[in-house]
Structure 1
């Protein structure tokens, strides 16, 4: 993703960037712009430029930098006053803050830029002419304002962008970027920029040179030298500087949320390279992963090859300290406990150890890790040796604790079977999320069939998708119980786990470690469905046989008798509107055979097995202590097998499905066919091995692969109807129901006729066309209506369908046109007269159509073209006597569509111009006055109704004489 930058012009820079005078010169070393959206509904931001000034050579200029012009990216700009100045590094540099509040009118991407007139002098890779102090300093930050992003603050950089390096040694810097919202950060190199005077625009500094230009090899002696930044950690490394001096370079920090780039910050930084025998110190980083509430006491060790004392410091959001040493704004601070570096910031002898100490709590849990930038300075003796630095990263992942003591037990509700879940109150409730948002911690309940031995690692949050858990509920963190009633099956083990989703902007809050498993199997206290098979297919008198077992998990004497089954039925494979159809009293003695019920419908509710599947379930009732029949449980519903047929080319594709508590997968299903209609006989033609799928299929091409009951193989005809039924085999997956064996069920009957998509052969077409060469000038004289006569014959081939029932004639007026259907001619007619045409021009082809409605390929394409003709006279007498008063074509012009006439007098002056569908000039000029007798020259452009749409007009040039004054032409 890339932002579209919105640039606004400004008049703030009125002074050209000339060689600076004393008050302007040599002070800016580094800087960046950060933003923070303020709470409320308006799009109001607190915008801060942090600039680092050279207080050694540019103190006066730094004093004078009391304000800086800002451009806000929305066409507005403002001179912003300095709001703070803090001296660092022994007062050799200062951190200057320029803060302004700005409100944007609407969503969009905005680039905020600021220009300071002069950099400090002596930057090696910003070479003369003029030098670096003749170049302005420009940094920018881009923000994306979008309602879906909620409150957002850009990351802040807590490590100042000023460091020292040594010639020949690898140098690294880390900005210690901290994003309070927990957004993902990515880093990439850029180049320093300068501001363009009198505008809000900028450009990369043309004379900028990559730092590797000033080195030839790396610290280990290999080559070439490298200058890189780690996209993940932000470690910017130059391996290795090769020249003493001051260098500037720039990099960009990208801010990402939910896979969307929402902002970019450019930091322009400076380092000083020295040449001395001092070697840089070394410091080690590591990664930690802790549960919120853990007290971190992490030793930080540093060494110095020269044996000198070292100073260990650390930067990061958990310290609540900004790059100028002041506290972060309250809404960016870690609360309530912030981190400390014990023994940090003081000179330590070898071996040196400081301790990173942080009492974490629920507020700190988030998806993204906290990066703590560790820095070590050596402390060389005397004033002549520069202190060198090294960096490392302590990466800390703080995850929310798991929900504790999850349990599950069976229970009952008004809707039937259920499982009761209970757990301890969640320990990370009532916390404050980043950005001051209200607590949105949720407990997500997951379920799967079957128990699992999964034990997550301490830093593995959430549940891997590979485990097969499905989300079934989302509850507030205050909940401690949940009743699951959703589609639970008897005899199935259900595994439950809970994951907490913590508050945060977007998905930055992260997930907790999953709870321990609670796994439970519901006892079999309901009957078990074993068959729903279609006996008879009819729209009014259908018949289905239904079977079920007694409650297998219930023993005699456990519940009071008498007992009762109540059979219910619903329409459709997924029907849920069950109605009672039978009540059956029963006993529950072991070994009792299945209960069988034959459903024939009723006079008021016919069983239409032709058009519908049916679904059944059985309620089981016992007698309670008060002598009342009480429902104990209900079976899982089971539907009849529904068969569908899809005719195809000389074949029929069958598909069938059922919605049952048993599985029909990985079984052999039988397909039966009748060639004599629904009355049979039916022969088994295939045994289909089906795999896991909601819908099973088989394509019948006429072959009979099961010949034990007779071989009925022969091709399917488009003139015949074929009837089918399918028998499925199924089995319960639960091992406790394996004794029920293989369950057999028949579908309804269905009949279908295959199609035949074989094409007829293409016809051969002929056309009676004009022979222009044989026409005289008077041929077709006065004729305005024409006829094209088409004749064709049908070609034959063994691969073509000879059963042609009609022909389609296609016509296109121009040869460039794609012909469209003109008329359909019933067979056996083999001709067509296309009448009432204004021109014979046009193209045709013919197709044949079979009895099955299949159209042949087009015939050969034939075209007819017009024979154009236009002859003009060379004299006319426009004297009003009604004879030869007009300059018009001689008799019998042919196929003229348009005429354009231009007339010139003998001096070459145009006297008339006009156009029309036919030429008819009355001898008047363009202004309507009579032209005198005399000789005139003309040019006529004639458009004809030809076959070529783009045919050029015919141009006729000649002369004509006008005779007036009593002259009559007969």
Structure 2
């Protein structure tokens, strides 16, 4: 009867000492024998809840054999099966048996489950583990069950987890991992683990193997040309140990992570063993190509070479998911050729990895190897766009050739205004954001045409639109093609080409409006024709805006109009040109097309000595430009200085599609008047239209208002001060600096804050140069004032003036609470002025408290007890805790102590 895991545990506990003695006497018969292993998984094609698992362990050949194994499925269930298959590892040097156990399990629903195996026990003598012979062997794999994932299979590791190294020689190992579904793989180190605790439903929870030390702690002589220390390449799985410094057996573990669309969907943990021996042999060295990208359908052929520093014969091989049909025939023992005829079925987002292995064959001693991964990405060929033509006045029809790969799923259509200059390489799939395109649609891969009407909103006319497409492929590979060639089309129609302010005035302003003649579309229309020019106030080009007709013409050559008697000083205007023709005969009544554009609106203000300009527009041409453009278009700022009648070019600036800004210290002089305007410069992508259009803003005049100088009435604070309130008041007056004209100021704004750390807030706007701040509970506070001119420009703040309260807290030594109206209460000389709160405590001559009160900020104690009973004549002692109003952000709290005599 075979021993169960629990039975073996009990046996070890009872006979542990004897067992270890027997181990030392007969090592070939030991039951503690596991060297390495991992667990594979595969979902059933007909039932996504059903999984097949393969447990593979590597054990000491000729020792105790595990005839059964138990797998815990992570859902509170487990299964025990018999050994399915065993065979000797044919590497000729490691005395290892391979054991395979097969399981099937159906889960109850979707989720992520961790499958676990506990083996009993590891083989003895592992250098980087403590007493390995008594440590269990713990493996795990993770599966994700999701109906949207479809069928999923775990990564396959093609090279065995038993390997050999020579002391002070660079050791490399690669598991030769690939994913059958084309999912992305990543690798990371993990400490070997043993059985730990168990959760409530019987799932095992591992813990780190006792005494584990990483191989970076067992280094020998460092060799050049390889990573220093112990490393694991997270993309290729390549393990490098530079170099082993201690002879013996070592175990490491790593996890292979499986990703799909940036989602972690599975994990396989491999625990492997490395034998380090003493031998003068040096490992061979492989010479392989660089990682590459190829277009599906390409035949790839490359030579792989190996050299051996000891000139020993070499045996070469390769593993990879493409082998076969790919081949790796030999030319001689140091040269092989990799051949692979790729096809559309090989397209996927993740690269394929082939691992080449070169093993030397010395006449004696150990054989050493070099392994090197080569990554090959198979990309889809570019689709071929054949034509882009206008389908209407606001849409374009694209066509392309039937795509060469029948397994493509989707065609993605991208648009850009104007040519891009994008030139993708073989490794550049899809269309990156940096190319400047926008995704405008997608269709099934079998479709060969697409109508771009901007999702029903229509494309802007008189612009050139350029297109590219690429093919996308389905899960799980999710490959992409290289972008197609670029085709362009121009939507030709009438177009606004200029809206420029010619004269700035509130009543007599003028704007010049220009538009283009229609192109070939005229040949499809019925004369007579007519232009109708419409106008609305503002900068909105929405159709719902209320437009008024300002001009009509039946002459198609009549494309210029100057609009007069406008308020260009205060308003911007939008113009829309419409073209009509006759349906059959008679008057033109059928709308052919329309185009609209706004005038440029400039806002200019003074910020201290700095001029700040902002101008806006809403136009169909492109006013935007950047310094990286081949020929950037700058908007030009013109300025008229005080005392001058002429505008001069002051500076220029780049702008965006809707606005421009400019800020510069002139410097502006207080009280002086300045005027500015801006010329915008824009372009069209339609070769029929002007290459550059220039448009003037209105003239905007502004000034830097004079900064007032503020004063506050003083407060004489001495022992004779007697407050007259509350309420109190502060009298503020100000004047302008010499040379500033008060007649240029429209109004003044007074600002106030109660404390030094408070925010100033506006409390009044006045036209005079004085203000009385009334109904105050205290004098303390700070003020500043600004001046605003008739252009709406507000000056910088004036100086800040502040006032403090005058606090003279003097209490009497005697009072007569006899209700004669004279000296009837105990109160400070200043009464309640400037007192926020007060707490009075009174004690008799024996120290007994007779009164406490907080109701009156001015105290106003009438010589009574807490119950209101009059106290007898005599001397009493007091303590007053007072908080005063003040400017400080910290509370002004003070304590006063003394005595007072009551006399009735």
Counterpart check, 1:616 vs 2:580:
no
Query: In 2 relative to 1, CA 467–98 (structure 1 residues): closer, same or farther, beyond 3 Å?
Result: same
- CA distance, structure 2, for counterparts of residue 730 and residue 692 of structure 1: 10
> Residues 717-732 of structure 1: matches in 2 within 5 Å?
none
Higher mean Cα deviation, 539-548 or 234-243? 539-548
Is 1:847 the equivalent of 2:815?
Answer: no
Partner SS for 1:613: strand
Matches within 5 A, 1:304-453: 312-318=316-322, 339=325, 351=333, 360-377=342-359, 386-404=366-384, 406-408=385-387, 410=389, 413=391, 415=393, 418=396, 421-424=399-402, 426-430=403-407, 440-444=409-413, 449=418
Paired residue secondary structure (2:345)? helix
8 Å contact kept, 2:411–2:469: no
Deviation at 1:39, TM superposition (A): 9.2
Deviations 1:210-234 (A, max 9, x none): 43444421456x9996322223322
Note if contact 1:401-1:513 (Cα within 8 Å) is conserved in structure 2.
yes
- Aligned to 1:92, the other structure's residue is in SS state strand
Matched, 1:655 2:603: no
- The alpha carbon displacement at 1:859 in A equals 2.9
Cα-to-partner distance string for 1:351-373 (whole Å, 9 max, x where unaligned): 27777666644333112201122
Aligned-partner Cα distance in 1 for 2:703–2:182: 63
Q: Where does structure 1 lack aligned partners over 5 or more consecutive residues?
A: 1-10, 320-337, 432-439, 587-593, 704-713, 877-881, 962-968
Contact 1:768 1:790 in 2 (8 A): no
- 2:97 counterpart residue number: 92
Deviations 1:73-108 (A, max 9, x none): xxx86556458654354352435567766678889x
**Deviation (angstroms), 1:644:** 0.8
- 1:26 is matched with which residue? 32
Equivalences for residues 87-126 of structure 1 within 5 A: 87-90=86-89, 92-95=97-100, 118-126=121-129
1:217 has 2:224 as partner? no
Matches within 5 A, 1:70-219: 81=80, 86-90=85-89, 92-95=97-100, 118-127=121-130, 131-138=131-138, 155-180=155-180, 182-194=182-194, 196-197=196-197, 204-205=208-209, 207-218=211-222
Residue correspondence of structure 1 range 522-601 to structure 2 within 5 A: 546=514, 548-549=516-517, 551=519, 563-569=527-533, 574=541, 584=554, 594-596=557-559
The whole-number CA distance in structure 2 between the counterparts of 1:280 and 1:198 is 45
Instruction: Say whether 1:477 aligns with 2:445.
Output: yes
Query: Alignment partner of 2:780: what SS?
Result: strand
The answer as to whether partners of 2:530 and 2:588 remain within 8 angstroms in 1 is no
What's 1:511 paired with? 480
Are 1:54 and 2:33 counterparts? no
Number of the residue aligned with 1:246: 249
Residue-by-residue CA offset, 1:358-411 (whole Å, 9 max, x unaligned): 664433311220112233455677xx955543312232221123335x42275x
> How many Å separate the matches in 2 of 1:799 and 1:607?
32
Deviations 1:106-159 (A, max 9, x none): 89xx988766564321111225xxx12234445667889999999877644343
Q: Could you tell me how far 1:444 is from its partner in structure 2?
A: 3.2
Q: Does 1:810 align with 2:810?
A: no
CA contact (8 A) 1:288 1:397 kept: yes
After superposition, what is the alpha-carbon deviation per residue over 1:533-568, rounded to whole angstroms, capped at 9, x for unaligned? 7789899998866565575899xxxx7998543425
Name the SS of the counterpart of 1:164 in structure 2. strand
Single out whichever of 659-668 and 182-191 deviates more from structure 2. Answer: 659-668
Q: Give the Cα–Cα distance (whole angstroms) in 2 for the partners of residues 956 and 937 of structure 1.
A: 11
Deviation at 1:652, TM superposition (A): 7.8
Distance 1:85 1:380 in 2: 36
Q: Is the 8 A contact 2:464 2:686 kept in 1?
A: no
Measure the CA separation in 1 of the matches of 2:127 and 2:684.
Answer: 80
Task: Give, in angstroms, the shift of residue 289 of structure 1.
Answer: 3.8
Cα distance between partner residues in 1 of 2:800 and 2:444: 73
Tell me how far apart the structure 2 counterparts of residues 481 and 899 of structure 1 sit (CA, whole Å).
88
Counterpart position of 1:326 = none
Pick from 726, 735, 740: which aligns with 1:786? 726
Alignment length, in residue pairs? 833
CA distance in 2, matches of 1:115, 1:750: 84
C-alpha change, 1:181 and 1:866, in structure 2 (3 Å) is: farther
Q: Is the 8 A contact 1:296 1:359 kept in 2?
A: yes
Quick one: distance in 2 between partners of 1:58 and 1:246?
17
Farther-moved stretch of structure 1 (352-361 vs 494-503): 352-361
Q: For residues 718-744 of structure 1, what are the alpha-carbon distances to aligned partners after superposition, in whole Å with 9 as ceiling and x for unaligned?
A: 7989797x7878887777x5xx98988
Contact conserved, 2:284 with 2:369, CA < 8 A, in 1? yes
Superposed, 1:447-462 pairs within 5 Å as 449=418, 458-462=426-430
Q: 1:78 to 1:312 in 2, by over 3 A?
A: farther
Gap change, CA 1:723 and 1:16, over 3 Å in 2: farther
1:646 shift after superposition: 0.5
Query: How far, CA to CA, are the matches of 1:742 and 1:619 in structure 2?
Result: 26
Deviation at 1:478, TM superposition (A): 0.8
Contact preservation (8 Å) 1:570, 1:616 = yes
Provide the C-alpha distance between the structure 2 equivalents of 1:297 and 1:31, rounded to a whole number of angstroms: 35
| Counterpart in the other structure of 1:436 | none
State the shift of 1:170 in Å.
Answer: 1.9
How many angstroms does 1:169 deviate by?
2.6
TM-score by length of 2: 0.70
Question: 2: distance between equivalents of 1:754 and 1:826?
Answer: 21
In structure 2, do the counterparts of structure 1 residues 402 and 503 end up closer, same or farther at CA, with 3 Å as the change threshold?
same
Q: CA RMSD in A?
A: 6.4
Is the partner of 2:615 in helix, strand or coil?
A: strand
Q: Matched residues in 1 for 2:742 and 2:783: separation?
A: 16
Give the CA deviation at 1:512: 1.1
1:861 alignment partner, SS class: strand
Does the CA-based 8 Å contact 1:282-1:303 persist in structure 2?
Answer: yes
Per-residue deviation, residues 448-496 of structure 1 (Å, max 9, x unmatched):
64597x8765554345767665544422101123355678899988765
CA distance in 2, matches of 1:621, 1:356: 72
With 479-488 and 667-676 compared, the bigger mean Cα shift is at 667-676
Note closer, same or farther for the CA distance 1:849–1:84 as it changes in structure 2 (3 Å cut).
farther
1:756 aligns with 704
Check whether the contact 1:763–1:847 (CA below 8 A) recurs between aligned residues: no
Give distance in 1, aligned partners of 2:741 and 2:194.
79
Structure 1 residues 674 and 898, CA gap change in structure 2 (3 angstroms): closer
Q: Would you say the 8 A contact 1:120–1:132 is kept in 2?
A: yes
User: What is the rounded CA distance, in whole Å, between the counterparts of 2:513 and 2:802 in structure 1?
Assistant: 64
In 2 relative to 1, CA 34–789 (structure 1 residues): closer, same or farther, beyond 3 Å? Answer: farther
